[in-house]
Chains A and B, each alone.
Chain A
Amino acid sequence: MAEFVAATLMVGITAYAVFGGADFGAGFWDLVAGGAERGARPRSVVDHAIGPVWEANHVWLIFVLVVLWTSFSEAFGSIMLTLFVPLALAAFGIVLRGTSFAFRKEVVRLSIRRDLGVVFATSSVIVPYCFGAVAGGIASGRVPPGGTAGDPWASWINPTSILGGVLAVATCAFLAAVYMTYDAHRFAGPDMEEYFRRRALVMAIVVGTIAVVGIFVLRADAEYLYDRLTGPALPLVLASAIGGLGTLTLLTRRLHRGARVLAMGAVAAVIWAWGVAQWPYLLPTRLTVAEAAAPTATLVAVSIAFGLAVLICLPSLALLYVLDQRSLLDADTAADGQARVADADATA
């Protein structure tokens, strides 16, 4: 039972990384898109890409938190206690990011749009960095269980955490660039398609490089994790590498749709590799999944809620994605309205 719930936890983390991660990455590209004029086109692709589904994507985070605090409450309490600083920063970032994105869509004045855009984009980088650093702190065994706090700084400012943070930001940017290449291909024209395709290619190489460097970082800093990643989790690590190379190949051949699927697969594989590498521990070498698990009745209740989510939310989510992909959902953004007013003014 605990294994099953741990697996659903991994499903939640994977979904958050693959969908929410791309949203963060879109914010990264927004940040580096350059001045208001030069960056206007890529930014409109970003807005369009995040569009209707961004809210739903971030529910996965809530899902992960709820499963963790209900089913593995000791791990949740310990993680929150030790990693107070990066998690508080992440929470701040989530508020700033979510609100500034929602506001930006509805604001017309360029100067305010720009300010909100800066907040949105900066927090889009900070939040995944923090989550990556948190994952690194957990994976390298820096979170002690049982209500005693670990080091409030070294637990997330350490080689593995830095690796985790940088890898998270780069992976988000990679995913977003791959997704947006496909999006741009469909509705923004060949120049934007090329724009994001180039960036996707670069990021694929960057992520690959970080991963290779990471192997040495982990060998020096997180022995348990390293042993396991090169042991039982090795097939998943290799799958991820193949997925990444495959994405690269498909991107050079402009097969964007397939690239999208492979990129998702590569990220999912690396997350499951992390999960397998940690097994059987939730907090490596000190608290196992079985020890942290809540009483069976609680696990059953959470599983029922998960089952209902599969029955209710997945079809709904599929509906949302299908409607979105068929362009049946259309944002009336502030800029659109303004354009119409300008049109009317011009004709008058």
Chain B
Amino acid sequence: MHALAQVLAVDPVPWARAQMAFTLATHIILVPLGVSWAFMTLIANYRGIRHGDADALRLAQRWSKYMAVLFAVGAVTGTVLSFEFGLLWPNFMDRFGPAFGIPFAFEGLFFFTEAIFIAIYIYGWKRLKPWAHFWSGVPIVIAGIGGSLAVVAANAWMNHPAGFRLNQAGRVVDVDPVAVIFNKAMPLQSLHMLIAAYLVGGFVVASVYATAMLRGKRDRYHRLGFLIPFTVAAVAVPIQMVVGDQLARFVYNNEPRKFAAMELVPETSRDVPETLGGWLNDDGEVVGGIPIPGLASILSDPGEGTSTKIRGLESFPADERPTNRQATIVHWAWDVMVGLGTALFLLAAWFAVVWWRRRDLPRTKWFLRAAAVAGVASVVTMEAGWVVTEVGRQPWIVVDYMLVEDAATSSSGVWVTFLGIAAIYTGVAVTTVLVLRAMRRRFDAAEDHSGNSDLSGPYSPRIRPEPVGAGTQEA
């Protein structure tokens, strides 16, 4: 037993970090679909009822079923995160729970509402009246927005801790819940993530239908399945560019360590180039990369132009700033986010111009190919954004108050739970994809056989398919 304990005793901090990063990175893929897919489904649902559009109704019904599966996966991966706050970072929660925890009380409220109405909406297709059913979906959208704003408020608080004071024993006192939730970083950071949810959700769903269209399924149903989510994404992209730009300037003004890492600036200077790629070596010097002269300074403060001074990493004590390697990661993540974000913007602009001129999609297959890739690309963009803000905060868990290493559990078995959770999540991810594909095939098969819309069809009394019908003709 003792020998076993020796083998199992591994420093928990890097493993706790890895597990948190892994589970968060997984959960965040599900977030956009949880937040924005309900909205897109309601658009299709609305069209379906209002204009008697059977294709739109069929889309809405199918989407809600896929949504149900993904919501379940999102709910449990979210529950894991709640456990991990305590399991991995007990000292952080012990100390800062009374402040950091507050936004989650409200997030829980939204999540509860979402879970209730998603059940009503998903199970209500057959027997609720059409408009009553439609309205049962609206709270899902509102709760999704509220919930994501609340969660990101908690994350923003870690960047800009506010609304409390530490007493001599180091305990949180004088809590001001409003100041905790609406901390300095909250408005822009929450908005940035919320729009990302619509952007990513739109591109991901659209990419599935773009792929189907490339495979020759050019009917109205697939076209609608592409157009609704792609339009949502295309509207979100330019808004996101503006919000992102504001947020970058906020980081420049308020989180200089993170900003120095993003722009790869070791020494405080003016006329800083925007370096594309490159890295910081062990001596903290910029190596490689393509410098665009003066651009980082200009973007940081267009009013001042190239004379804008950017504070360098080395102006902070070494143990209070990201390491050189972390800074390189932040910088690359930043480049990836901005680069892919710009590419997505161009794709959306292409679509907008063509649609404006002739009310149709661009004819070339390259558009659909790009749209098919945009799903994955948008997820990568969002993940990169999270890397920027999370790695850029290192080595702090609560900036200027608590280091990550002081927050971690002393349980030496974290590497076991990390491997366990990695295996389980991999299994869940593979099964999720397989199940979604199987559902699609099943829906298709049911349609081919009954010649009817999905399953028993929305808003109809439950009837068995008539013996005389499409099936008989086929036979």
Which A residues fall within an 8 A CB radius of B? Answer: 51-53, 55-56, 58-59, 61-63, 65-67, 69-71, 73-74, 76-81, 84-85, 87-88, 90-92, 94-99, 101-103, 106-108, 147, 149, 152, 294-295, 297-298, 300-302, 305-306, 308-309, 312-313, 316-317, 319-320, 323-324, 327-332, 334, 336-338, 340-341, 343-345, 347-348
Can you name the residue of chain A whose Cβ is closest to the Cβ of B178? Answer: A301
Which one, B65, B75, B97, B449, contacts A341 given CB within 8 A? B449
- Specify which chain A residues have a CB less than 8 angstroms from the CB of B464 in the assembled complex: 340, 343
Once the chains are docked, how many angstroms separate the CA of A309 from the CA of B106? 9
By a CB distance below 8 angstroms, the chain A residues around B445 are 341
- Contact (Cβ within 8 A) B175 A298: yes
Bound Cα distance from A301 to B178, whole angstroms? 9
The list of the 4 closest CB pairs from A to B, nearest first, reads A73-B97, A77-B94, A80-B86, A70-B101
B299 within 8 A of A: no
Between-chain CB contacts (< 8 Å), 26 pairs:
A63-B108, A66-B107, A69-B97, A76-B97, A77-B86, A77-B93, A77-B97, A79-B86, A80-B93, A92-B421, A95-B425, A96-B424, A97-B76, A98-B73, A108-B438, A108-B442, A147-B91, A294-B97, A294-B175, A295-B98, A297-B176, A305-B108, A309-B112, A319-B120, A341-B449, A348-B472
Q: Which residue of A lies closest to B164 (CB)?
A: A295
Q: Are B79 and A320 in contact (CB under 8 A)?
A: no
Chain B 41-80 interface 0/1 with A at a Cβ cutoff of 8 Å (1 = within):
0000000000000000000000001001101110111111
Interface centre among B97, B104, B467, by most chain A C-beta atoms within 10 angstroms, is B97
The distance from the CB of B154 to the nearest CB of chain A, in whole angstroms, is 11
The answer on a CB contact under 8 Å between A103 and B431 is yes
For the complex with contacts A95-B79, A298-B177, A334-B442, 16 further pairs of A-B residues with Cβ separation under 8 Å are A70-B97, A76-B97, A77-B97, A81-B86, A106-B435, A108-B438, A295-B98, A313-B113, A316-B116, A316-B139, A328-B127, A329-B123, A329-B127, A337-B446, A341-B450, A348-B449
CB within 8 Å of A: which B330-350 residues? none
Task: Please tell me if the beta carbons of B471 and A340 are within 8 angstroms of each other in the complex.
Answer: no
A107 touches B126 (CB 8 A): no
Interchain CA distance A313-B186 in the complex, whole Å = 26
Shortest CB distance B194–A (Å): 20
Determine the chain A residues whose CB is within 8 A of the CB of B248 once the complex forms.
Answer: none
B124 partner residues in chain A, CB cutoff 8 A: 323, 328-329
What is the minimal beta-carbon distance from B12 to any residue of chain A, in angstroms?
A: 10
Q: How far is the CB of A95 from chain B (nearest CB, A)?
A: 5
Interface string of B101-131 (1 = CB under 8 A from A): 1101111110111011111101111111000
Partner among B71, B87, B97, B106 whose Cβ is within 8 Å of the Cβ of A88 = B87
Complex Cα gap A302–B98 (Å): 10
CB pair A69–B72 under 8 Å, yes or no, is no
| Stretch binding the partner chain, chosen from B237-245, B369-377, B410-418 | B410-418
Tell me, in angstroms, the Cα distance from A87 to B135 when the chains sit together.
39
Q: Are A345 and B471 in contact (CB under 8 A)?
A: yes
A327 to B470, CA, bound (A): 30
Q: How far is the CA of A103 from the CA of B430 in the complex (A)?
A: 12
Task: Find the A residue at minimum CB distance from B88.
Answer: A80
Of B128, B411, B432, B467, which is in contact with the most chain A CB atoms at under 10 Å from its CB? Answer: B411
With contacts A52-B119, A297-B177 taken as known, whether A94 is within 8 angstroms of B79 at the C-beta atoms is yes
Which residues in A have their C-beta under 8 angstroms from that of B410?
A: 81, 149
Does B117 lie within 8 Å of A51, measured CB to CB? no
Q: Judging by beta carbons under 8 Å apart, are A51 and B123 in contact?
A: yes
Among the interface residues A94, A316, A332, A343, which one has the most CB atoms of the partner chain B within 10 A? Answer: A332
Across the interface, which residues of A come within 8 angstroms of B79, CB to CB? Answer: 58, 61-62, 91, 94-95, 98
Taking CB as reference atom, which chain A residue is nearest B412?
A: A152
B164 to chain A: which residues have CB within 8 Å?
A: 295
Query: Which residues 143-188 of B sit at the A interface, judged by CB distance below 8 A?
Result: 164, 172-177
Instruction: Name B416's closest neighbour in chain A (CB-CB).
Output: A88
With the chains together, A53 CA to B117 CA distance in Å? 10
B292 to chain A, nearest CB (A): 45
- Please name all residues of chain A whose beta carbon is closer than 8 Å to the beta carbon of B112 when the two chains form the complex: 56, 59, 62-63, 309, 313
A54 to B219, CA, bound (A): 37
Known contacts A309-B112, A330-B127, A337 near B80 by CB under 8 Å? no
A183 to B61, CA, bound (A): 27
Q: Does B90 contact A (CB under 8 A)?
A: yes
CB-CB < 8 A to A87: which residues of B? 83, 86-87
A327 touches B471 (CB 8 A): no
Residue of B nearest to A294 (CB): B98
Q: Indicate if the CB atoms of A316 and B102 lie closer than 8 Å.
A: no
Report whether B424 and A330 are in contact in the complex, using a CB–CB cutoff of 8 Å: no
Residues in chain B near residue A340, CB distance under 8 A: 446, 449-450, 455-456, 464-465
